[in-house]
Structure 1
Amino acid sequence: MRASLGTVGVISACLFSTSALANSSGITGQSGKDGSTCNTCHSGGSAPTVEISGPATLEPNATGQYTLIIKGGAARVGGMNIAVDNAAAVLQAGEGSQKIGKEITHNGLKAFTNDELRFDFSLVAPASGTVKLFAAGNSANGDYNSTGDRSSTATLDVTVDQGGCSATGGSPMLVFALAAATLTRLRRRQG
């Protein structure tokens, strides 16, 4: 019985350690896409500002370059989680991050520089439709406890531009073509 209790104790300790290490080396499901963020575990610190910088329009199957920017908060070290709502869109990890399943997360704690932390990544657009990027950025105090840290979220809508008759480009061209045809017809009648 003592060996069994000792084994249970060792297994329990390993499970708790694995949970703590998983967060410092990245975790998914915390981007805010499904309502969960890093604040599920991290609390007590001041909230950073988080933004996603990059193109809001991509051509079909094109690759766009994006940056997740975390500013403020505890601003010692941080991490992140990024997801998309379109299964045909593909995220690609940049330096300091890794892809787990269809999401991107940090691959270790990354230090802030001048009160700012940046994670570069790419998005390969689907053949059509839209893509919503969801990101949570955590600003942590670096004491390896979950208190004194806080995350914030950001989203970015990306439109896949089919070209030609899009809502912004096609209508003016159609009006121009109809006007030109009408003027040509009027000139022929007068001449």
Structure 2
Amino acid sequence: MKFLSYGAAGVLAASLLSTSAFAFGAGKTGSSGKSGSQPCTMCHNGGTAPTVEISGPTTLAAGATGQYTLIIRGGAAVKAGMNVAASDAAASLEPGSATEQKKEAGELTHKAAKAFSNGEARFDFSLIAPSTAGTVTLFGAGNSTNGNGNAVGDMSATTTLNVTVTAAGNNPTPDDNEEPGGCSSTGGAPAMMFVLAAAGVTLLRRRHG
């Protein structure tokens, strides 16, 4: 009886692991590494950690849109999942591909595990900067899995990228000495002197003639 009980417990445990893996196969938010989030390693573990980076501009004007990519390399490197969040609620994250990603509670996650290609998995997305100057931190988690349908043999890693948001620029003010046509009054002085001198020479010639 004990043998059967232990066997049943093992099957149940394996089933739970498999169920948890499949439950998040369609993506999960709250695992980006942002303060208070739960890491993917709570479910996926036992594998080799990948390297994860966020590529994109580190400076944006207020209200501007920047294009970014979460890149996952290494680990089991068969299939990948992701979660990206921003530190500022006024910043907006948008999926780069409606078929690969979805937006939930202001964060981005995958719709289905993505196959690695040439040793990496890439997820494009965009950030719309807040309307005021400051710093927005992007938090990204990448999960590298072996694609066997359970959570064993997988591993994730997290990364961050700080984006400086600058105040929206004003149109440059023309120089006070600027004349219509783009020539300053000081720049036009030599030309005016040349004209006057030429006129003087012409007048002298007429008198001597």
TM-score for the superposition, normalised by structure 2: 0.68
For residues 100-138 of structure 1, the C-alpha deviation after alignment (integer angstroms, 9 at most, x for no partner) is 110000000100001100000000000122110000000
Distance 2:81 2:94 in 1: 16
Matched with 2:29 is 28
Q: How many residues align?
A: 151
Q: Letter of the 1:156 partner, please give it.
A: L
Larger Rg: 2
Matched with 2:160 is 155
The partner residue of 1:104 within 97, 102, 108 is: 108
SS in 2 for 1:143: coil
Q: Letter of the 2:121 partner, please give it.
A: L
SS in 1 for 2:28: coil
Matched with 2:84 is 82
Distance 2:25 2:148 in 1: 11
SS in 2 for 1:24: coil
Distance 1:86 1:131 in 2: 6
Distance 1:37 1:63 in 2: 28
Give 1:65 deviation, angstroms. Answer: 0.1
Distance 2:37 2:48 in 1: 20
The verdict on how the C-alpha distance between 1:16 and 1:142 changes in structure 2, with shifts beyond 3 A counting, is: closer
Distance 2:145 2:117 in 1: 13
The root-mean-square deviation of aligned C-alpha atoms, in Å, is 2.0
Divergent runs of 4+, >2 A: 15-22
Q: Letter of the 1:66 partner, please give it.
A: Y
Q: Letter of the 1:30 partner, please give it.
A: S
For residues 11-38 of structure 1, the C-alpha deviation after alignment (integer angstroms, 9 at most, x for no partner) is xxxx999754431000000001024211
* Contiguous gaps of at least 5 residues in structure 1: 1-14, 165-191
Distance 2:72 2:166 in 1: 29
SS in 1 for 2:41: helix
SS in 1 for 2:24: helix
The partner residue of 1:134 within 111, 130, 139 is: 139
Q: Percent identity?
A: 59
